[in-house]
Structure 1
Amino acid sequence: MEILPNDPLNSLNQKSECEKRICVIGAAAGGLIALKVISDSAYVKSGKWSVTAYEARTNLGGIWFPSPPVADSYGVPLTPLYDSLTTNLPHPIMGYTSYSFPPETPLFPRAHVVQTYLESFAAHFNLMPLIKFGTTVLDARWESTQWVITLSNGEQLAYDHLVVANGHYHIPRIPDLPGLADWVKHGKAFHSVWYRKPDFLGNKVLIVGGGPSGNDIAAEMCTVSTVVVHALSKPPAADDLSPDNLILRGRAIEFRANGQVIFEDGTVEDNIDHCILATGFQNHLPFLEGSSMINKSMPPDIPPLIPGELFNSTYHIFPLEKHLFPLQTRYPVSSVAFMGLLMWTSPFPLMEAQAHAIVRAFADPSSLDPITEAADIIARAEKLRSAGASTSLAVAKAWVRFVEDEQWVYRDELYEFAGGVGSETGTPPIKVREWEKECFDLRAEMRSAWEGLEKSGKAGEWLKDVGKNGVQDWVDLMYRVLDYARRCSSSASARL
């Protein structure tokens, strides 16, 4: 890009007292914690760094900020948030470690409570002046020594670093299955991004997808449909709590024009009136794809790992050092960080740890070790293959899914890196606590018991004054709820 004498980029490219200018893309949970941690650093407080976030919407919060099911410029709603959504994690392990939910907050809060929490977080740490709302980053490209970004208001600005925190719950993933595109074309199937509440769509409805939204939508549709067929990769055995009009099936493999759907075990369901696809979302980075800063395709098989380019397979961004920093040769590895890509985790505190690691890497690029990280990436690929991911696509799908203790090890390693030898970030050594691990593993039992307490009207009594004395109040409550769940289960077993 040619910079003309009177171009605003000309003055921006001249170093002032600010040594690093940092651009954060997105002001949802990831962007907010990045703003908080970066602005808390000695580098910003001394005036050596500055940080600004750009948010396309009129308020912060991302998926937690509601929007009607109306198409945006990409032809889909701004958020997949449905009316009844509650968290599937108890908020004491969901929230940032630096900021708790208010006392007496329901253990599994509704979406509007999470949105209020994020707004309160931003106000408490004075982040609002750092956010430019209603402003989309249209393009970001590395020019010589800086990132040049083009904004929706026509401005072009230069930054030393980017933090990509635009989320990955926007562009729907529609499975490539025989006949399904025709169902979508004729309005017989739609993605769950459009779903808001259980409306009557016919006597027999199919829900595809076994994630949290698929489970919630299947349960809700049972209240308005005669029959609901729920297709999952690994259908569980029906239990006494399953609605009588719910049928569990395996993976759907073919959609026929006459309303038939074929499943992988050969089962056929006739007379399907409508299908809701809770089939996930794609990684979407249009501001990097237009300028060829990322290759939107499947990366080559590894080993060996030859990090010439960065790839977006739509399932994962690859290869990333520490699941954050792009191992490629087009621009400095430490010049950009991709937040919040990992799944099956407790995302807010995980992104908080990522933010501390980002400050360390931006402050000291030499702290990154591409050779060691490349070896770790190859080792992860081999581990996933040995666990059954036999194709490149299977590896890509599994890459961001953290299982067993992986998220806890990762969080501890990020904090160790952030406050490691030679670090000047002042990051405290925040270790994952044992109750976080235990309560995360038992979250489903806890949620079921909590829903029972809410239905019985007892939840308010259980919440009275909880949280006023700090986090231990919440820990004690979660273990009380788990004990209640076990007692209820024992009583139910005794009645059989």
Structure 2
Amino acid sequence: MDLPDFQPESDASKKICIIGAGPAGLAALKVVLDSSQYKAGQWEVTAYEARNKLGGVWLPAPPLDDPPLTPLYNSLTTNIPHPIMAFTSYPFPPSTPLFPHADVVHKYLEDFADHFGLHPHIELSTTVTSITRSESNSDWEVSLSTGPTVSFDLVIVCNGHYHIPRYPNTPGIAAWLSSGRATHSAWYRHPHNLGDKVLVVGAGPSGQDISAEMCCAAQTVIHSATGALPEDVGNLKRRGRVTHFGSTSDGQVTFEDGSVESGISHTILATGYETSFPFLGANIIRSSVPPPVPPLPREIYNSTYGVFPLAKHVFPLQNAFPTSSLAFLGLLVRVAPFPVVEAQARAVLHAFTNPGSLEPMQEAVDIISRYEELRRNVGDSPLAIAKAWHRFEAMQQFEYRDALYDFVSAAQGGKLDLVWGDQWGRTLEDDGRVPEWEKEVYRNKDILRKAWVKVEEIGEAGKWVKGVGEGGTHEWVEMMDRLKKWAIEQGIELKDVDKAKL
């Protein structure tokens, strides 16, 4: 792909816009403030947050809006241990529960912003309504809900992808939704008052959490998921994909194996969310599934499952504006998001400072290679490939983070000028590569979560974490190793864990 040779004036003052003050926006803002350019007065940065407080999806709100401001349900905890969830620059405090509740995560984000002085650079209750390219194609014109339109050299999109509910097109579902007999999990907060027989559709983390929690309130819970199904347990029934929603009067639903369940009181659709960028017009991004590859399209597409084509899953690879002037953070799924967006932010600022460091031809080759790999795995359908595009399997996220830091460090003799928050005892290799203990913990995250649930049930969770972390991150590593061994002694073995998630 031939891209225009944009060469920004390296000595000129630059303005950076960050859309959103959730985890990705906070990570990007912190990285900007760490930069030598900001400290030298060459860069200005502003983060715009539509809500009245920072935190993004981790900031609670009642489900009164359509769609709700956040899908955060009351019982939500992290599904990975916090030592590998945290920003590399700022661990969770000592004694934090290993799988903390959502309010602990929100407090962590607030503390992160306090510690690194981010608040003065965040404008709350301010929505970015549109972004257009200036007539001279030299900068971005960012229009705000508060009235003004401001020019920026770099826009970093961090608006998250857990806001617009994704609904299935299953026959009959429209009548269930219009009658209130079905709702998306974005509205779910607690398991009460939904009836005696509840169907939960979706096998992701929220579908698993909600179906398990519903068992405490409903007489019968049916969990619909694709793939291999575990056996029924107690009042929890496992069923395959729903093929038809029948009359709402009898609450009848048909599944792919031909079985039928009647008398369903309510259906919760834990069917995911759409990526959405309402501030980007059709002249910037097209709202459709991208065409088959090769060749790469000359425009960028939002399939509602992600953005394509993006160099390094971040930079729009097209020929209408500088590739390094617009960036998308946090689109990847099945990853530990905080450290990933932190690495992405460093790559964005490196490319913005050194636009020649992005090699369009090599990036195009990498994209086509991934496309061919996914074609072999999921088939030729452009939609199937779009669904899988930003979904990382197994340990790919760590290879990806290492590659991003390699990209940044290549211009610095293989070393990075990083602030790792050593006051907390955090230690990482000088080159920023992911330490082996993080990978090991991620491999064992499901065993650790099962074990953590167990120690909470027997009232010993506090003993496991008391004082842990006061002497450094290595104490968390040692504690998690002990917990894993304890889990095996208690009979929580690898065979009990869904290996597809490892």
TM range (shorter): over 0.9
- Distance in 1 (CA, whole Å) between partners of 2:379 and 2:113 is 40
1:480 maps to what in 2?
A: 482
1:390 CA displacement: 3.4
Q: Choose from 388, 394, 401 the match for 1:398.
A: 388
The answer to whether 1:328 aligns with 2:321 is no
The alpha-carbon deviation at position 238 of structure 1 amounts to 2.1
Secondary structure, in 3 states, of the residue corresponding to 1:419? helix
Secondary structure, aligned partner of 1:287: coil
Where does residue 51 of structure 1 map in the other structure? 45
Q: Which of 220, 242, 254 is the matching residue for 1:227?
A: 220
Q: Contact 1:345 / 1:407 at 8 angstroms: preserved in 2?
A: yes
How many angstroms apart in 2 are the aligned matches of 1:179 and 1:232? 18
| Equivalent residue for 2:405, pick from 400, 415, 421 | 415
CA deviations on 1:325-347 (whole Å, 9 max, x unpaired) are 00112211110110000000111
Deviation at 1:268, TM superposition (A): 1.5
SS in 2 for 1:52: strand
The structure 2 residue matched to 1:120, chosen from 111, 119, 122, is 111
The amino acid of 2:434's aligned partner reads V
Please tell me the residue identity of whatever aligns with 1:172. P
Give, in angstroms, the shift of residue 387 of structure 1. 1.3
The answer to whether the 8 A contact 1:191-1:276 is kept is yes
Matches of 1:410 and 1:16 in 2, distance apart? 28
Contact 2:224 2:240 survives alignment (8 Å): yes
Q: CA deviation at 1:98?
A: 0.8
Does structure 1 residue 364 correspond to structure 2 residue 354?
A: yes
Report if aligned partners of 1:210, 1:233 keep a CA contact under 8 Å in 2.
yes
- CA-CA distance at 1:17 after TM superposition: 8.2
Q: How does 1:98-113 map to 2 (within 5 A)?
A: 98-113=89-104
| 2:498 alignment counterpart | none
Structure 2 counterpart SS, 1:387 = helix
**Kept in 1: contact 2:416–2:432 (CA 8 A):** no
Q: Distance in 1 between matches of 2:314 and 2:52?
A: 27
Alignment of structure 1 residues 32-431 onto 2, 5 Å: 32-71=26-65, 75-143=66-134, 144-238=137-231, 242=233, 244-257=234-247, 258-289=250-281, 292-306=283-297, 308-421=298-411, 426-427=417-418, 429-431=431-433
Asked if 1 retains the 8 angstrom alpha-carbon contact of 2:229 and 2:240, the reply is no
Please identify, of 218-227 and 169-178, the stretch whose mean Cα deviation from structure 2 is larger.
218-227
Cα distance, 1:266–1:390 mapped onto 2, change above 3 Å:
farther
1:44 and 1:490, CA in 2 relative to 1: closer, same or farther beyond 3 A? Answer: closer
Q: State how far apart, in whole Å, the 1-side matches of 2:206 and 2:170 are.
A: 21
CA distance in 1, matches of 2:345, 2:48: 17
CA distance, structure 2, for counterparts of residue 388 and residue 338 of structure 1: 25
Give CA-to-partner distance per residue, 1:465-487, whole Å, 9 cap, x none: 10001100110111111111100
Q: Is the 8 A contact 2:451 2:492 kept in 1?
A: no
Could you say what secondary structure the match of 1:217 adopts?
helix
- Counterpart of 2:438 (choices 418, 436, 439) is 436
Does the Cα contact within 8 Å between 2:229 and 2:239 map onto a contact in 1? Answer: no
Separation in 1, partners of 2:31, 2:289: 33
Number of aligned residue pairs: 471
> Percent identity, aligned pairs only?
50
Note the C-alpha offset of 1:388.
2.6
Distance 2:166 2:228 in 1: 21
Look up the match of 1:26.
20
2 CA distance for matches of 1:16 and 1:412?
27
Offset of residue 235 of structure 1: 4.3
Distance 1:490 1:425, change over 3 A: closer
**Aligned in 2, Cα 1:476/1:425: closer, same or farther, shift over 3 Å?**
closer
- In the alignment, structure 1 residue 470 sits paired with structure 2 residue 472: yes
Say which SS state the counterpart of residue 452 (structure 1) adopts. Answer: helix
Note if contact 1:359-1:425 (Cα within 8 Å) is conserved in structure 2: no
Q: Which amino acid aligns with 1:85?
A: L
Residue 449, structure 1, aligned to residue 434, structure 2:
no
2-structure distance, mates of 1:39, 1:16: 18
Structure 1 residue 18: Cα displacement: 5.5
Cα displacement (A) at 1:122: 0.4
SS at match of 1:432: coil
Letter in 1 for 2:129: L
Structure 2 contact 10–353 (Cα < 8 Å) conserved: no
Q: Which residue of 2 aligns with 1:12?
A: none
Letter in 2 for 1:473: E
SS at match of 2:238: strand
Return the letter of the residue paired with 1:445.
I
Matched residue SS, 2:410: coil
Contact 1:77 1:194 in 2 (8 A): yes
**Structure 2: distance between partners of 1:117 and 1:411:** 22
Q: Which amino acid aligns with 1:112?
A: D
1:10 alignment counterpart = none
Give yes or no for contact 1:235–1:248 (8 Å, CA) kept in 2. Answer: no
Equivalent residues of 1:235, 1:249 under 8 A apart = no
How high is the TM-score relative to the length of structure 1? 0.92
Counterparts in 2 of 1:332 and 1:426: CA distance versus 1, 3 Å: same
Which letter does structure 1 place at the counterpart of 2:14? K
Cα distance in 2 for residues equivalent to 1:391 and 1:273: 36
Greater shift after overlay, 263-272 or 322-331? 263-272
Deviations 1:286-305 (A, max 9, x none): 0003x631111111111121
Unaligned runs of 5+ in 2: 1-8, 419-429, 496-502
Residue 51 to residue 377, structure 1, CA distance change in 2 (3 Å): same
For residue 201 of structure 1, report the CA deviation from its aligned partner. 1.7
Q: What is the distance in 2 between the residues matched to 1:254 and 1:389?
A: 25
How far apart are residue 396 of structure 1 and its match?
A: 0.7
Aligned residues of 2:16 and 2:45 also touching (Cα < 8 A): yes
The structure-2 alpha-carbon separation of the partners of 1:18 and 1:130, relative to structure 1 and needing over 3 Å to count, comes to farther
Aligned amino acid, residue 375 of structure 1: V
